[in-house]
Amino acid sequence: MVKRAMKKLKASKLVLHRILNARQLALKLISNVTYGYTAAGFSGRMPCAEIADSIVQCGRMTLETAISFVNQHEKWKAKVIYGDTDSMFVLLKGRSKEDAFIIGNEIASAITAMNPEPVTLKMEKVYCPCFLLTKKRYVGYSYESPEQEKPTFDAKGIETVRRDTCPAVAKTLERSIRLIFETNDLSEVESYLKRQWARILSGKVSIKDFVFAKEVRLGTYSSRSSSLPPAAIVAKKAMEMDPRAEPHYGERIPYVVIHGEPGSRLMDMVVNPFDLLDLNSSYRLNDLYYINKQMIPALQRVFSLLGADINQWFSAVSRPIRPMFSKRHAPMSNARLFRDGGSDNSMVSKKPNGKRIRIDTYYSSKHCILCGELIQSSEHFCVNCSRKEALVDATVVGRTSKKEREMQHLTEICRHCGGGDWIIESGVKCISLSCSVFYERKKVQKELHALSSFATASGFYPSCNAEFF
């Protein structure tokens, strides 16, 4: 009754829709818990396993009887391809959407008439098309009435609706499924995935889409540090720096996966998103982990039903060159460099606090900043671009101006949202990990900082302090 009332609401009544949705969920949970409580031998007050077993057996008998009846009916020529607890999926091969609703209502009426009241089989929706993966995992375009023209993307149990993955996986999987549903062409899906992988490998993505957020229950894990989940590892690192950072029981802790040393375990490559977004951070998002360990398995589970090999698609993607400025690190003020015996390659780095720093901090790109051609010297430009001094000056200054305008625009958005942090020297205070503008602002800030460091060293213009933004 509550669900029927929800369907009759107008699109503008969002608050009432949320209230009714919470009400129907509460009724559902009360029913489930009342049944489950009868078999709760450890936590229940008055358990009775016989009642629970009889409920399960009656439900199974009702479902099996309905499945046999549908499969043996000569008029419908239908086949039940999946049945679980209180529902069943009926395949009507070669029928139209209108025929499916007619036959579905006939099946519901016939099954309802076979069973004593109040057992009722309801014709819920028609999927066209649909992927049925495993038990309780399916996705399709659903129609709830014959008059409905635009279908609803309905997914259960897959990564598009699960919270144990990152948004990049959910968005990519949903877009790929929509493409195959609408075009019925695997080549379209392949082209889309290759474009997305190229963007990820080239760094042209927002870090927000690659942040995991998982629950942490400190005190329930094994004493061995190797058995801790990634979110708990990040939480323990934060507590070592500040004991007040201890998370609440069940709190969701965000983390990202970065590139580590060869042979590193996952627990060695997880850090807080703020560590990756820091202006002087030497960390880099582990794009291959997200593609090989998160995206491809989720996509393969779906598209293997059509005979697609997602790993082969990814192996055919050419590895793009990352933006040149992102590989040219600014010189670190807190490191001392020593040359040994006049060799250019024997460089040792130390920090005043004695901690080691990553070797890629001292590696620069060997590609021309303007055209991307490979260069063999320590110069920033290739031979052809070096001859065009006016073009070099205009390009570098133009890129810097563009980044400064982007930074100023994002800063204005943050100030308008925050209500007026107008002292420019103090910068924007917002550090919300749920805001996409925050990630974009940090990304542009890093690019501007790297570009400014290069341009200042080359004598194009004085230093521009990106921290002011």
* Statement: residue 349 has pLDDT above 80: no
- Class (C level, CATH) for 2-160: alpha beta
Per-residue pLDDT at 255: 96
Q: Give the tens place of pLDDT for each residue, 50-76.
A: 888 888 898 899 999 999 999 999 899
Residues composing the chain: 469
Q: Quick check: pTM over 0.85?
A: no
* Statement: residue 452 has pLDDT above 60: yes
Beta strands in 322-445 (DSSP E): 336-339, 347-350
Q: Give the tens place of pLDDT for each residue, 182-231.
A: 999 999 999 999 999 999 998 889 999 999 999 999 888 876 666 789 99
Mean per-residue pLDDT, 304-319: 92
Rounded distance between C-alpha atoms, residue 292 and residue 271, angstroms: 19
Q: Indicate the angle between helix axes 436-458 and 389-418, nearest 10 degrees.
A: 150
Rounded distance between C-alpha atoms, residue 248 and residue 228, angstroms: 17
* Statement: residue 423 has pLDDT above 60: no
* Statement: residue 469 has pLDDT above 80: no
Rounded distance between C-alpha atoms, residue 127 and residue 141, angstroms: 5
* Statement: residue 150 has pLDDT above 70: yes
Per-residue pLDDT at 407: 85
Q: What is the DSSP letter of 219?
A: T
Per-residue pLDDT at 351: 46
SS3 323: coil
**Do residues 437 and 426 lie in contact, with contact meaning Cβ atoms separated by under 8 Å?**
no
Distance of CA 164 to the CA centre of its chain: 9
Q: What percent of the chain has a predicted confidence (pLDDT) above 90?
A: 45
Exposed, middle or buried, 81 (CB in 10 Å: 0-12/13-18/19+)?
exposed
- The superfamily (CATH) of domain 201-327 is B family DNA polymerase, thumb domain (1.10.132.60)
Per-residue pLDDT at 225: 60
Mean per-residue pLDDT, 328-353: 39
Look at 46 and 275; give whichever has higher pLDDT.
Answer: 275
Look at 16 and 334; give whichever has higher pLDDT.
Answer: 16
- The domain ranges of the chain are 2-160, 201-327, 378-468
Mean pLDDT across the chain: 82
Q: What percent of the chain has a predicted confidence (pLDDT) above 70?
A: 81
Alpha helices in 163-241 (DSSP H): 167-183, 186-201, 230-241
